[in-house]
Amino acid sequence: MFKTYVINLNDSTSRLSAISQKLAQNGIEFTRVEAVDGRKATSTDFLEYSHRKSIDRHGRGLTGGEVACYLSHIRALKAFVETEAPQALILEDDASFVPNFGDQIRELSQALEIYPNWDVVNLVEQRRDWKRTAFEIPENTISRAFYFPMLTSANLWSREGAIAFLNSKFGRYVSGPIDTELRSFCAVRGKGLSLEHSISSPSGVASDIDNNQVTRSEANANLKRRPIKPRIVRHFPDYANAWINMNLKRIWR
């Protein structure tokens, strides 16, 4: 089965209380992971951040809050791999759930215990394209999501996937928001999954971690900018990797 981790800032006590109640209602115990605080930081305050790579990949620099959010997820993944648990449910503290979330996530976890070659499941968003059906459980259909959905408020990770992410370039430095970099990771490996019917969603409340007091323009004012490549050029590797995995690599059942 899975361990559960909730990413939460030290002073976000109301958020912690709210998600604690939601998880308790679903019979889920969790470990709190102290979020990296980037509210008063610029991106270059973090040694893990590469402004040049961020410009190349996304056409812009990141705020300190975006880098802090990324590093918070890295912190949660490291906490997971230090245990012997086979799976980890990693939640941001603004996550909300469907009424029977506990039953559905346990059912999904059990099905994944015997399903091969998966890294991470997005529990929040679906894609209507770039996917192939993998298997079904009573209340949902699980698909290979070759162009992985956005949003990271609720993901279920395998041990193999977490270790692979941490050992890859995505675990060594920050060059984009966590959701877009996770998409790139899944495009390369072709082992991301998504649900036909979401069982979690963000609450809609603004992120505390990314509630940065330094604007994006201020954060990058003194940094040398590079010519911005068109979006199709910047994201072509993701499209190409996703297409190859979807059409040429038969790693799914």
As a whole number of angstroms, the distance between CA 58 and CA 67 comes to 14
Work out the end-to-end distance of the chain between its first and last CA atoms, rounded to an integer number of angstroms.
22
* Phi, psi for 157 (deg, rounded to 5): -105, 145
Give 10-residue mean pLDDT values along the chain (253 residues): 96 96 98 95 93 87 96 98 98 96 97 95 91 93 94 97 98 96 96 96 66 51 52 76 84 46
Domain that holds residue 238: 2-247
DSSP state of 223: S
Candidates 245, 235, 238, 236; CA nearest to 144 is: 245
Report the domain count for the chain: 1
Q: Do the domain assignments include residue 117?
A: yes
CA dihedral 220, 221, 227, 231 (to 10 degrees): 40
pLDDT at residue 253, as a whole number: 42
- Give the pLDDT confidence score for residue 1 in this predicted structure: 85
pTM: 0.88
Q: Residue 161 and residue 179: Cα distance in Å, rounded?
A: 15
For position 209, what pLDDT does the model report?
53
Contact 129, 246 (CB under 8 A): no
In a domain? residue 104: yes
pLDDT digits (tens, 9 = 90+) for 235-244: 788 888 998 9
151 inside domain: yes
Residue 56 lies in a domain: yes
* Per-residue pLDDT, 222: 47
55: CB partners within 8 A, 6+ apart:
61, 225, 226, 228
- Report strand pairing: 131-137 vs 200-202: unpaired
- Residue 201 within a domain: yes
CA dist., res. 246 & res. 133, Å (int): 11
139-174: per-residue pLDDT in tens?
999 999 999 999 999 999 999 999 999 999 999 999
CA distance 49 to 219: 12
Amino acid at 152: T
CA atoms 66, 71, 74, 80: torsion sign:
negative
Q: Residue for token digits 């015997």? A: 114
Number of C-beta neighbours around residue 124 at 10 A: 23
CATH number of the domain enclosing 185: 3.90.550
pLDDT value, residue 32: 98
In a domain, 253, yes or no: no
Alpha-carbon distances of 111 from 55, 116, 135, 142, 166, rounded to whole Å:
40, 10, 9, 10, 25
Residue 252 forms part of a structural domain: no
